[in-house]
Structure 1
Amino acid sequence: MALKPLRAGDPLVMGPYRLAARLGSGGMGVVYLGVDGRGRQGAVKVLRDEYLEDEGFRRRFTREAAAIAAIDSPRVARLLDAGPDGDQPWIATEYVHGPTLLGAVAADGPTRPETLRTLATGLAEALRAIHDVDVVHRDLKPSNVIMGADGPKVIDFGIAVGLAGAMTASGVVLGSVGYMAPELISGDSRPGPAADVFGWALTVAFAATGRAPFGDGPLQTLVLRTVHGDADIDGVPDDLRPAVTTALRTRPELRPSAADLVSWLASGDVPAGIELAAEPAPAQPAGPAAETSGLAEASRVAEASDESERAGQAERAERAGAAEATGAAEATGAAGRAGGAGRRPGGAHRAGGRPRGDSAQQRARSLAALDILVGTSSSAPADPAGEDPAPDRPAVRRRRHPVTARRLVPAVGVVAIAAAAASMGVVPS
């Protein structure tokens, strides 16, 4: 992962670690390279300042540390230390020297066949270990895989679910559109291990081809491709294609388990109970309903995205108006202060009410808490670490990368309960 200089205001010490550089940042925290008193390096994730008073984010941070601690695998970056209950919560994990899979493909192109099989096997082993302790990662994708010298390692359990005590508000889902399983986009069921298997197939396909399997384009298009299993896996080698194809089935119960994948890749034999026949097409409504059913679902996602944009814009306009009015009042010696109001081309393979809070600020905060990352195209300079701009505008935060760009938006089924969840102090796990 690329090292970047510390910024003004960055902490210098966290627990036993002296912070030496920035490794990257995300919606919930900033990750630093830390060195302890014995010279050992660690990746130290620190909760963002704006979330220090948010008990929901603190709970999620604690759950992330617990999830990592429960997993014992050389294919997962191990937990070194943590201080999730301090004034500024932090988690230190093994620092893995090497680029992310996203950065490696952006720099060098598709993964070589011999390395690709090692990658596919290593990621399947990581998922088996994760699922063995009843954890679901929920966000397996190229930027969450580090290509270490001894093989791939999975990182970032910020939205993992499954441990005892984890809470997920009904209808709330988290993940990265473009690498989410269709059942997560619909929000109809609790995330299960099969969702990670779907992410495994998409990540392996990306490594093999250098392309995001669901391509780029408008959000509605990505959602429809995911729901209908329209993943482009042209270029995946023949020895991996059967496993990738079955892992991309739209019905989670028809996908192999992570343990099945490990056995399959090691022996070359199809595991018992796995059928290679094409997945039966789901029943579709006839006539105009067939056209509108999928479009309506995608439109709900687009509407949610527009709402998050409007909420952020309205809040900034209101803050600007309040500041201008306050300045005018002071200039004229007014006793009171003026206040503002609150606030790709189609693939060859087919695998298959808005929130109404009390203010725009609450809506923006609720939407920011969801951390839904959406893949689109971009020609901006590479930034494998996924560095965020200044975090003071969470509802419209942008990231750019030559392979994918991402935008914070709510997912299907999320918007109707986002403000209510925030007001109750419930943050999606």
Structure 2
Amino acid sequence: MPPTERYHVDRSWPLCLPERGPVPGAAPQQLLNHRYRLDVRIGSGGMGDVWRGHDEARDGALVAIKLMPEGLDEVDRRRFEREVRVLQEITHPSVVPLLDIGWQGDSLFYVMEYVGPISLEDVFLAHPQGLPEARWPWLIERAGEVLDALAHLHQQRLVHRDVKPSNILLRFAANAASSADDWQLLSGGRALLADLGLVARTDVDSALTQSALGTPQYMAPEQIESPASVDERSDLWSVGILLYRGLAGRLPFQRLSDALSRRAPEPLPPMSIAMKDAISTLMEFEPHRRPPDASHAAALLRSAISDTPSDAPSVEISRRSMPTFTGRQSARDSMLEAARLAARGEGRWLHIEGERGHGKTWLVSRSDFRSRALVEEQLQHFNGTFDGREPHSGFRVVLEQVLGHIARNSGAESASEALGRWGGHLAGAFPRLCGHGWIEGCAVVDTASPPEIIQERVLESVVQVLTTDAEVEPRTLVLEDLHFCDEFDIELLRRLTIASLDLPILVITT
């Protein structure tokens, strides 16, 4: 009977984490919840420690136990809670299954199937020159299983965000493999996706999903440049990178800046055109040029290794792939020059005009301008769009990104301080900013003041936030679709551009 059938996990069980804490003093032989005895720590990271343990209710059966680590801030505590919630929702043969959830006093832990000691990272380390060609089909099949698991996550609007060899465990028959070298004797095995600590919902906009989190060598360019825009295709990039490493014995980019600058990777070893194309398409710099989903990517890989035509529908590629905009070379060059000057303290405002569909959004958000401004000039990128439905939506989104950036780096109190003495007034002008704790942490303000006084205070507070720490953190502030602006937005833009003149800030509007 499979391990998941021996346990009964209540997948609707509510979690209430804020008053909970880490398991204190976790140590070998400690007994959790009168049932699970810790044996040895087998993994450790910012999102928790993983122990091999024994289930004494099942004659000492091996299990893996993840404990909430000590010293978590509020955001990371919520991430740990979210990981448990996601595992409650996920049942797939290529995802490490959740077996139980428990409390040790006031401390949360959860129990997973113990898959074994070998990960894909162990296999790669055992073959530093790359896997032998005879084992390429084995690796492709394991990658296909990972993509099957990702397809299941993606169907539920979940993005893993940390797909890498060490998070892919290998399950073999009992006692079949004791080391990463023994795998060469096997023709079977199954890959299981583990560690959902950084999983994000693509339909939720929150501080949990706007951080550039992951393992840099396997992170897609957009995952670093614009965390809030990450979607399912970012996971596909990671699968492409790990496949490249497994086949070539090295990473495709020697430096992170090579990927962000869109430099071509080192060539793959000699292989069939179909396989090379399948892997290369996973590593396309622009997300819309990658396969449209994980199922399509798995079909491409499996057909490449078997030399049979893929059943994946080509219509999906046409639907998701848009041609690269090419008519704004001079505008891009002007933007790069303005970024260079802004980074040196000569603030700039650029306005880009053009008919709808002429590529303005692509130019400011998806061309290589963002990565080059980040890599060459160290300009952080914040982007908001006015939509004509929510008042001041462009400024609200940029404010949320900047305040979230401050809170992640320095804490929520610093975000409240950045709002200044009049920050409490932003609750009226930007109600969707409430709930993060930033406005709530500001001093109480007199909401009975005359409207024109309150507006002046809001303008002062917004400009203060958007220029805070710019001397040490140069930035690009992009505001799109100004035709939806009202008088308040235009006045705020005027004051922002004036305040930015002597700061390393580039303001771009469309």
TM-score when scaled to structure 1? 0.62
1:3-402 paired onto structure 2 within 5 Å = 10=27, 12-15=30-33, 16-36=35-55, 37-38=57-58, 39-51=60-72, 54-83=73-102, 87-109=106-128, 110-111=130-131, 112-149=135-172, 150-162=189-201, 167-168=206-207, 171-187=210-226, 189-215=228-254, 221-228=255-262, 230-235=264-269, 237-238=271-272, 239-256=274-291, 257-267=293-303, 268-269=309-310, 271-273=313-315, 274=317, 280=324, 285-286=332-333, 289=336, 294-298=371-375
Query: What SS does the aligned partner of 2:66 have?
Result: strand
Q: Higher relative CO (CA 8 A, sep ≥ 6), structure 1 or 2?
A: 1
What code does the residue aligned with 2:167 have? Answer: N
Deviations 1:271-293 (A, max 9, x none): 31337x99858665338937955
Query: What SS does the aligned partner of 1:153 have?
Result: strand
What code does the residue aligned with 1:14 have? Answer: L
Distance 1:108 1:171, change over 3 A: closer
Q: Given that residues 75 and 208 in structure 2 are in contact (C-alpha distance below 8 angstroms), is that contact kept between their aligned partners in structure 1?
A: no
Equivalent-residue separation in structure 2 for 1:74 and 1:137 (angstroms): 16
Instruction: Quote the offset at 1:147 in angstroms.
Output: 2.4
Equivalent-residue separation in structure 1 for 2:143 and 2:119 (angstroms): 15
Q: Given that residues 141 and 203 in structure 1 are in contact (C-alpha distance below 8 angstroms), is that contact kept between their aligned partners in structure 2?
A: yes
Question: Which stretches in structure 1 are left out of the alignment for 5+ residues?
Answer: 1-7, 216-220, 304-352, 354-411
Query: What SS does the aligned partner of 1:22 have?
Result: strand
Question: Which stretches in structure 2 are left out of the alignment for 5+ residues?
Answer: 1-24, 173-188, 304-308, 341-368, 383-401, 416-434, 438-510
Tell me which residue corresponds to 2:12: none
Q: Given that residues 135 and 163 in structure 1 are in contact (C-alpha distance below 8 angstroms), is that contact kept between their aligned partners in structure 2?
A: yes
Q: Given that residues 47 and 88 in structure 1 are in contact (C-alpha distance below 8 angstroms), is that contact kept between their aligned partners in structure 2?
A: yes
Equivalent-residue separation in structure 2 for 1:253 and 1:222 (angstroms): 21
Query: What SS does the aligned partner of 1:242 have?
Result: helix
Q: Given that residues 227 and 250 in structure 1 are in contact (C-alpha distance below 8 angstroms), is that contact kept between their aligned partners in structure 2?
A: no
Equivalent-residue separation in structure 2 for 1:170 and 1:152 (angstroms): 26
Q: Given that residues 248 and 268 in structure 2 are in contact (C-alpha distance below 8 angstroms), is that contact kept between their aligned partners in structure 1?
A: yes
Distance 1:296 1:252, change over 3 A: closer
Tell me which residue corresponds to 1:306: none
Equivalent-residue separation in structure 2 for 1:178 and 1:281 (angstroms): 28
Q: Given that residues 172 and 417 in structure 1 are in contact (C-alpha distance below 8 angstroms), is that contact kept between their aligned partners in structure 2?
A: no
Query: What SS does the aligned partner of 1:240 have?
Result: helix
Deviations 1:7-33 (A, max 9, x none): x86261233310111101001211100
Equivalent-residue separation in structure 1 for 2:258 and 2:170 (angstroms): 31
What code does the residue aligned with 2:228 have? Answer: S
Alignment RMSD (CA, Å): 3.7
Instruction: Quote the offset at 1:101 in angstroms.
Output: 1.4
Write 1 or 2 for the structure with the bigger share of helix.
Answer: 2
Tell me which residue corresponds to 1:337: none
Equivalent-residue separation in structure 2 for 1:222 and 1:188 (angstroms): 16
Equivalent-residue separation in structure 2 for 1:24 and 1:166 (angstroms): 30
Query: What SS does the aligned partner of 1:167 have?
Result: coil
Distance 1:299 1:426, change over 3 A: farther
Equivalent-residue separation in structure 2 for 1:148 and 1:258 (angstroms): 22
How many corresponding residue pairs? 308
What code does the residue aligned with 1:228 have? Answer: R
What code does the residue aligned with 1:116 have? Answer: L
Equivalent-residue separation in structure 2 for 1:419 and 1:207 (angstroms): 35
Tell me which residue corresponds to 1:418: 408
Deviations 1:204-223 (A, max 9, x none): 111111212222xxxxx413
Query: What SS does the aligned partner of 2:158 have?
Result: coil
Instruction: Quote the offset at 1:140 in angstroms.
Output: 0.4
Q: Given that residues 202 and 230 in structure 2 are in contact (C-alpha distance below 8 angstroms), is that contact kept between their aligned partners in structure 1?
A: no
